[in-house]
Structure 1
Amino acid sequence: MKTLRQFSLKPVLIIIKINSTCNPSMNDLNTGNRLKGVTPIDNQNGVTIIVTDGTLKINFYWDTDGNEIINFNGFNFSFGTNNLLTATDGTNTYTGTWSITDTNGYIDNLSDLKFDITFTPPINFVEIIDDWEIIDNSSSYIKLKDVVGSNGGTDFLAFSKN
């Protein structure tokens, strides 16, 4: 006569529990819980601190066809609360908005962040409206790029602390 052996479900439950914790939850993506050893909002917060701490100037602007920094000489940029962006040269003041968004929820690379800038006229300021890719940053600067249209031209924009 054959006997029926009992087996434990504990190993099966442990495997199920391990698998269910491998995928990030929406809570992980939204709150800053650690993923891949990186806090998703650390990079975003770091860039926000750079641009909101004091004023910045554009020290490089390459619009696909050439250097256009001359259009921004003398302007100081303030990236303020409530996403208010102000540029002034002491005589003229222009306003816009700014924001930083992530493209995939993990933000483990700077390229996962988009730095959005909008401005109202004059035309020089309208030209920098875009969702820029952050390519580098430090405590004193932020470097951005944008691939333009289907022809593949690339714009570069860099802000540095005053």
Structure 2
Amino acid sequence: MRRLKFLSLAVIVYASLFFTSCESTDDSNDMNSIANVEDIKSTVTSGNWVITLFEEDGVNQTSYFTDYTFVFAATGELSADNGETSLSGAWSITSDSNSSDDDSSSDDDIDFNIFFSSPVNFAEISEDWEIVSYSSSRIELVDESGGDGSVDRLVFEKI
């Protein structure tokens, strides 16, 4: 009888630990919600942005974007201007759950898509970036490049 009570108690304790160790995600930080897609779009289209970090294959290449100001138009147009040179590109935000992109580790992440056809340095940031974090003044993006598993990082900050 004593052994049965101990075994029952052990099962209850184990089950309690199992269920309390499973965390639910906070909806306010859920990168998968449609509301967050609209929030990100609203955030990025308000104001001017600069690149504060671009790291490709472990090499910091931020200097290629020094003095460029980026403007994300609600129409999907993207411009970069440094006072001497103006470049045009495109941007969008998509959810992998409704995208045909199969190279993502998750089917439900939100991608920040950037496209510049030239110059070469700007073509390097033309990717379907995964949004790691965002706020009203900062957007951090990552992309697993090539097949070697290296991770590129791109950070925009509002000015």
CA contact (8 A) 2:133 2:139 kept: yes
CA contact (8 A) 1:142 1:160 kept: yes
Seq. identity, %: 35
Structure 1 alignment gaps of length 5 or more:
1-35
**Structure 2 equivalent of residue 48 of structure 1:** 41
1:10-159 equivalent positions in 2, closer than 5 A: 40-104=33-97, 112-159=109-156
Structure-2 separation of matches of 1:82 and 1:138: 21
Alignment size in residue pairs: 123
Structure-2 separation of matches of 1:129 and 1:75: 16
Structure 2 alignment gaps of length 5 or more:
1-25, 99-105
CA contact (8 A) 2:55 2:154 kept: yes
SS of structure 1 residue aligned to 2:125: coil
Q: TM-score, normalised by structure 2?
A: 0.72
Please give the per-residue CA displacement for 1:40-90, whole angstroms capped at 9, x wherever unaligned: 311101111221001100001111140000000000000002200000001
CA contact (8 A) 1:94 1:120 kept: no
Structure-2 separation of matches of 1:93 and 1:146: 25
Letter in 2 for 1:118: F
Q: Rg bigger for which structure? A: 1
Alignment RMSD, CA only?
A: 2.0
